[in-house]
Structure formats: C-alpha cells, structure tokens
Amino acid sequence: MSRFKDKVAIVTGAAGGIGTAAATRLVDEGARVMLVDLDAEKLEQLAASLGDSTRWCSADVGNAQDCQNYLDQTIAAWGKVDVLLANAGIEGVVMPLAQYPLETFEQVMKVNVHGVWNGLQQVMPIMAENGGGSIVITSSVAGLQGAAGMSAYVTSKHAVVGLMRSAAIEGAADNIRVNTVNPAPIETRMMRSLEQGINPGNPEAVHDQMGKAIPFGRYGSAEEVASMLLYLASDDSSYCTGGTYTVDGAMSSG
C-alpha cells in the first residue's frame, strides 16, 4: 500500500505502543515521518529501525516552544506537514477525586490537553498554506464516559474531544480534517500502569476483569488502533471530520 506516498506526517507519543505502531505503518505506506516524544533514547532507536524516511525530535508537547521546534524541524526536513497524529498522553494516578494531587492533575492536563492545543494551533496554519491536511487526536473511551479514580485522565480526554470539534469546524474552509480516535483498554504500558494503580497487589486480576467487561472479551492491540488512525489520516476518509471514532470492542455501547 502507498496511501501516504509523498505525505509528511508527525506522530507525537511515538515511543509508546500506539505511536510506534502508527509510525511504523506510516513508513510502510510511504510517508516521511517526524517522530516526537520526550524519551530521546527510544526515539533514536525507533528512527534507526524505521530508516531514512524518519527524523526524530525530543519534545515536551505541553511546552509551546518544544512544539514549535518539532514543527520547524519537520518543515526544514521536508517542507510541509500533511498529517498530525496528536497521540502523546499520560495517565496520571488512580485516586479518588477528593485526594487527587493538584500537581498531577495539572501535569495530565498539560500533556494531554495543552499538548493537543499547541499542536492544533501551530500546525493548522501550515496545513492551510499547503491546501489542507488531516489531524487525528488520540482520545479514549474515557473521553466519552466517566471512570472512578481517574478524574484527571477522564477530564483531559473529554477536553480533547471538544478541541477536535471546534478545530474541525474552523479547519473545514481550509480542507483540514480533525477527528479523535477513542480506544478501549489497549495492551500497552499505560494500561499496565493503570492496572497497577487500581490493584497494586494483583494487577493481573484487573486485566482479566476489565477484559471480560468488554463485549469482545479482550483488550485491543496497538495495531488495531493504528489502523483507525491511518484510515482517518488518509484520503480514504476524505469526508470524515469532526467525529469520534471508537476502537473499543463495543465497550462504549453498553
């Protein structure tokens, strides 16, 4: 497949499970990809494994100057941006709202919401000058419903759905499409962290219980999420904008 031949994509959170899966697929389908994450060592390793079609930039997406830097490096390398996968995110801690640490709440909002805001605000004018583009934001089923003990994460994932809807309306005149992907629990490091937070003594039991609560009876894979990300990033979804797309085994249908 070559859906992304001559396309330039940025993937934030590229060192994580979903980001790595998406970046790998983008390269396989012809894209040139800027890999963005805070973990420089993992980025360097990923770029080396994916080859000459990639560059990497260590960045705190919640910092506007860092976002400007990864955009500048992308433009310097390839002259444009066609796709932004705004995928970077953190989970915070599992704790009742009344005891939730303010500093942790603020950090989750900085990465998960300010990071998306910075990307939208800075990349949309670049895309407009180039005739359009596609922005896909990784939200969560937690952006569609509540969850006890996860007030910061849930708030942040609801917030990016609102950002997406506003950006989709504003971007339409410039042929910029904006959507969210809302996964259920996925087999990634983030879910291992949340399972540990929910039941430190037996995180495996949390995994089993949560998997059984999903109608499909299992967690999803990073590759399954990447398939939806790439569909929305590609011209195959040319009339899709302003939408929330679940990859959740019917979890949000109940």
Active site residues: 153
Distance in angstroms (rounded) separating the CA atoms of residues 144 and 99:
23
Distance in angstroms (rounded) separating the CA atoms of residues 45 and 92:
26
- Through-space distance between the first and last CA atoms of the chain, rounded to whole angstroms: 36
Q: What is the 3-state secondary structure (H, E, C) of 98-160?
A: HHCCHHHHHHHHHHHHHHHHHHHHHHHHHHHHCCCEEEEEECCHHHCCCCCCCHHHHHHHHHH
Distance in angstroms (rounded) separating the CA atoms of residues 68 and 72:
6
Q: Report how far apart, in Å, the C-alpha atoms of 60 and of each of 52, 115, 137, 143, 232 are.
A: 24, 8, 16, 22, 25
Nearest one of 131, 127, 128, 139 to 163, comparing CA atoms: 139
Distance in angstroms (rounded) separating the CA atoms of residues 218 and 216:
6
Distance in angstroms (rounded) separating the CA atoms of residues 4 and 105:
37
Distance in angstroms (rounded) separating the CA atoms of residues 75 and 25:
21
Amino acid at 160: V
